[in-house]
Structure 1
């Protein structure tokens, strides 16, 4: 029984500390909000509130959370542009055909290894056209693979 009493007191004091603490600028995650709801439920401090009412009152508004997320995404592209590579980057150089040494591989694996060899050779000559191996929108691998398939 004393253990249960200690647990209830700890839960109530934690809940009180959360209630008195200043609210963060962003809304709580659903997992954090759920844990907070369960603690309040165990401590009988919900006062008849259901989950949706509790979530809106204690965890932040969904619209505000979406607005915060949208503003964070809008701010991200405004960051400083990536620094230019040392020296002027040359246009990307791609292999004209699959390397003969990979003829015993499957077609996909042969293209992969051929493109990887050319990419690594281009790195020393700064001839990758500022492309990374894989990047959103099509990196070196994607373009090289497409050229070898055609």
Structure 2
């Protein structure tokens, strides 16, 4: 398997997390965790992923503190994978990715699964980006501030 370039020393909040979640399988594992899956076999059935690749992705998510292992809830000898606080903090990212995918990767009227509010059964409102003072921001309203990076 080709070793990917690490972004751990890059002073960018988009690049660094890619070491942990920068491949589709890792995000799909996290998605499945939010859906209640906890066991290796459940992930394998859901994703159809080879055992060695699944094991590598799970190990990477564990190494980055996104998942943790806990004793099986049923008292069995196996371990279960659970999202850590860091992993649960990925929820808005997955919601944004899902909403973007729904908007741009399905034909009008094409059936697809939806994320809904458990209490009301209603689709979620589209995510928005707001300034600290509450103003709605578009890409042109933001900039990358390099002034805090040493050497710049």
Q: Is TM-score (shorter-chain normalized) higher than 0.5?
A: no
Structure richer in strand, relative to its length: 2
Higher relative contact order by CA 8 Å / sep ≥ 6: 1 or 2?
A: 1
TM-score (norm 1): 0.21
| Greater helix proportion | 1
Q: Is the radius of gyration larger for structure 1 or structure 2?
A: 1
